[in-house]
Amino acid sequence: MSDHPNSYESQPPSSEQGATKKSKSKPVLLGIAAVAVVALIAGGSFAFFSGYNPFGDPKPNYAQTPSQSDVMDFSGLSADMRLNGAPLTASAEAGETSPEILRFIGSTTSILTQVGDDEKPAWTVSIPHQDIDTGETAPLDEALGPDASDDTSDDEEKLAGTPTACRVSGEAVQCGDRAVALSDGSMTTAESKADVDPHPASSRVPLDIEDEGAVTGPDDQTYDGLNLGPEAHVSMIAGPQAGETGPWVVSDGHTLAAVDSDSVLWTQDLDPSAAEVTGLGDKRVTPSWTAVDGVLIIGTSGGVKGLDVSTGDQLWAVSAPTDGFAVTGSQLRIQHEGAVSSFDFTDSSDDESVTADKGFDESISALPAPKLPSEDDIRNAKLEVPPACADLTMAEGAKQAFADGKTAEGDYGSSIAINDVTTSVATPKPMVAIDFVCYPGGNWVTDSVGVYDQKLNLVTSIEPWSEDSDFQQLADFNRSIVSAIDLTGPYMTATVSNIAVYGDEEYNAAERTGEAELRFAWSKGGYDPQDALFTADGETVRVPEVEAVQKFVDAAAKGDDGTAGAMATDEVMRDLDIVIGDASANPPLTYRNVALQDGTEVDTCELIGVVDEEYGDYTMSNGVGLMEGIGGFGADSIKAGDVICGLKGPGETIDPDEEGSWYAAHLLLKGNEAGAVKVYSVSSYTG
């Protein structure tokens, strides 16, 4: 028998005939180890047809058992990733083709990978889930305790957040506000979010589920004897051939039933693993099931089977250990751990079932798997820690010795603890990302991330709060906490919480309510910053580029109010020339000729952090304060997520290391997801 994880033994599929049960609208949290998922879009490079057909490609027969044709090696993905069969095409039909893209869903992120002609990934990108609850900040003693990360409870394995719905559009796959080029996997920010129905199969079924779990038909009739669980989410599907009278299939993850416009056709109790493997019962996940040519294809941990939609009778079964599956075009893909096996419906047989052939494992290259240190080895290693963390904790020496994930205490009780370890071989080279808790003593703590190679040599550091960070100028990251790290393909994503935004309080133990998603791209042996997406008071915000704000300043200084007005509120443009000082001065003092003189430069822009409530005193993240309180006209409407930009007058020098450096003028901008410039307040010190 092959040693590969996709080596199959005969496992007869469960019959699943039974009674009516369960479910409805509210989501049931599925373990990600089970909720597998993936979108794989059909193409030609995986198809292996049994014979020559002079009239074109043979037609798939979904009513008969497909034959195994290939197995692909995906052992580089992390263990929580599961193949999902939700279509990526605009029509969301299983039979439609598009580029060979597979989608895997993990606990906090999804993976998209395009498979090339050599049946290997041409590119791989990660798409973080939306609405991840970062939870409460751990108390200091828990964060620094040697057993802080030893708890591997079931909660840590479950699906976090909502996987982003994706669709192929033109030359890209768009997932939320990310556009991934089909040509090379390069990821950019789209002009607008993709308007995608995450459950297109359910949306076209004319059935409703009442709060108590009753199913009502297109004429508002109730189906006698069919009641689904009121606490679960109900998925529905109809094949392309289903008409106005059905049939339609519904499931809450426990019960599978088919109805037409008049009556219940059949019901079955599902194997408990069917909900996890197929993605039923959780509204955040688009199920992998497919209804095509009158056949419902559904999976369990023991394999995938086809049912007659009209009768519920089993037509065929493929017996194989199954974590996730997808039907695309003529191919059935079954994933188990690090392998994806292909079964061809154009080469179907009359056999009622087939067992996956372990002999296909031999087609996987026997290259040695990359070796990475174990987590226990890492927690007891000598490591070069990120430089700002070392400075903050006054750590001595090039490397720090860790015992059970913590260094020995230094002066004033300072120490460094390993909070979390992320490993990945699905990167330009095998990587280890370590989240460190940096504790200088007292009641102040912050996180740093070190990225290491296989030999635990420090490759790069992520310390958004340090003076050398490109992110430090975007927000107050002091005391920020890293809640998740993802390493996939050429990209890395860090989810950071405890960021100061407007409305937060000043004292050390105060809650900081902002969050950020920091994105990096691999370049020249390290990760370069690519994007920063903030969340403040429920709103998503990007800090505008300094160069974009400079265009407003230049236009206003030159009197080009048409250009400036497109980047400011009407109130700002109206009040730029109001006299704010001695009316007899020549020229009179106005915001335009004081704050926005010709030659004024935008020095830095950042998310507004903690503001002194009494006087409006504010210090920018670079350490330079405002010469007068934050704001000017319009400042009474500041909200969490708004942006402040410090201005440097003509010939003026701003030096954060010099005590006498101040910003005499500043702008306030409305926060928005696009990072567009919208100035709503101009302020300047007038003496």
d(CA 311, CA 299): 18
Q: 143 versus 650: which is more confidently predicted?
A: 650
Q: What is the mean pLDDT of residues 422-434?
A: 82
Q: So what's the pLDDT on residue 309?
A: 92
Q: Is the pLDDT of residue 615 over 50?
A: yes
> Bridge partners of 497?
481
Banded model confidence at residue 135, pLDDT cuts 50, 70, 90: very low
Q: Is the pLDDT of residue 268 over 90?
A: yes
d(CA 634, CA 501): 18
Banded model confidence at residue 89, pLDDT cuts 50, 70, 90: low
Banded model confidence at residue 365, pLDDT cuts 50, 70, 90: very low
Q: Is the pLDDT of residue 163 over 80?
A: yes
Banded model confidence at residue 32, pLDDT cuts 50, 70, 90: very low
Q: So what's the pLDDT on residue 56?
A: 53
Which of 67-81, 291-305, 311-325, 564-578 has the weakest average pLDDT?
A: 67-81
Q: So what's the pLDDT on residue 181?
A: 87
Q: So what's the pLDDT on residue 182?
A: 87
Banded model confidence at residue 243, pLDDT cuts 50, 70, 90: confident
Which of 295-304, 366-375, 668-677 has the weakest average pLDDT?
A: 366-375
Banded model confidence at residue 658, pLDDT cuts 50, 70, 90: confident
Q: 134 versus 406: which is more confidently predicted?
A: 406
Banded model confidence at residue 157, pLDDT cuts 50, 70, 90: very low
Banded model confidence at residue 567, pLDDT cuts 50, 70, 90: very high
By DSSP bridging, strand 625-626 and strand 662-663 are parallel
Q: What is the mean pLDDT of residues 332-353?
A: 86
* pLDDT tens, residue by residue, 366-386: 444 567 899 999 999 999 999
- Block residue for tokens 């419902």: 296
| Domain range annotation of the chain | 65-132+156-195+283-363, 375-536, 546-684
Tell me the two tokens of residue 497.
């919480």
Q: So what's the pLDDT on residue 23?
A: 32
Q: Is the pLDDT of residue 49 over 90?
A: no
CB 40 within 8 A of CB 103: yes
Residues 6+ apart with CB under 8 A from 678: 567, 568, 569, 669, 670, 672
Q: Is the pLDDT of residue 55 over 50?
A: no
Q: Is the pLDDT of residue 563 over 90?
A: yes
Banded model confidence at residue 6, pLDDT cuts 50, 70, 90: very low
Q: 94 versus 393: which is more confidently predicted?
A: 393
CB-based burial, 34-45: b 16+ in 10 Å, e otherwise? bbbbbbbbbbee
Q: So what's the pLDDT on residue 241?
A: 66
Q: Where are the beta strands (DSSP E) in 74-159?
A: 82-83, 101-105, 109-115, 121-128
Secondary structure of residue 234 in the 3-state scheme: coil
Q: 463 versus 636: which is more confidently predicted?
A: 463
Q: So what's the pLDDT on residue 671?
A: 92
Q: So what's the pLDDT on residue 141?
A: 45
d(CA 224, CA 236): 18
Q: So what's the pLDDT on residue 498?
A: 93
Output the 3-class SS for 456-492: CCEEEEECCCCCCCCCHHHCECCCCEEEEEEEECCEE
Q: Which CATH number is associated with domain 65-132+156-195+283-363?
A: 2.40.10.480
Which of 179-183, 423-427, 471-475 has the weakest average pLDDT?
A: 423-427
Q: Is the pLDDT of residue 643 over 90?
A: yes
d(CA 30, CA 282): 7
Q: Is the pLDDT of residue 25 over 80?
A: no
Q: What is the mean pLDDT of residues 503-532?
A: 86
Predicted TM-score (pTM) of the model is 0.62
The HSE-up count of residue 111 (CA atoms within 13 Å, CB side) is: 30
Secondary structure of residue 514 in the 3-state scheme: strand
Q: Is 320 exposed, middle or buried (0-12, 13-18, 19+ CB in 10 A)?
A: buried
Q: Is the pLDDT of residue 148 over 60?
A: no
What average pLDDT does the chain have?
79
DSSP 356: P
* pLDDT tens, residue by residue, 432-490: 999 999 999 887 889 999 999 989 999 999 999 998 888 888 999 988 999 889 887 77
Rank 180-194, 201-215, 635-649 by mean pLDDT and report only the highest.
Answer: 635-649
Banded model confidence at residue 80, pLDDT cuts 50, 70, 90: confident
Q: So what's the pLDDT on residue 206?
A: 85
Q: What is the mean pLDDT of residues 47-64?
A: 59
Query: What is the number of other CB atoms lying within 10 angstroms of the CB of residue 593?
Result: 16
For 64, list phi and psi in degrees, rounded to 5. Answer: -125, 165
CB-based burial, 424-446: b 16+ in 10 Å, e otherwise? bbbbeebbbbbbbbbbbbeeebb
Output the 3-class SS for 606-661: EECCCCCCCCCCCECCCCCEECCCCCCCCHHHCCCCCEEEEEECCCCCCCCCCCCC
Q: Is the pLDDT of residue 423 over 70?
A: yes
> Bridge partners of 237?
249
Q: Is the pLDDT of residue 395 over 80?
A: yes
Q: So what's the pLDDT on residue 27?
A: 30
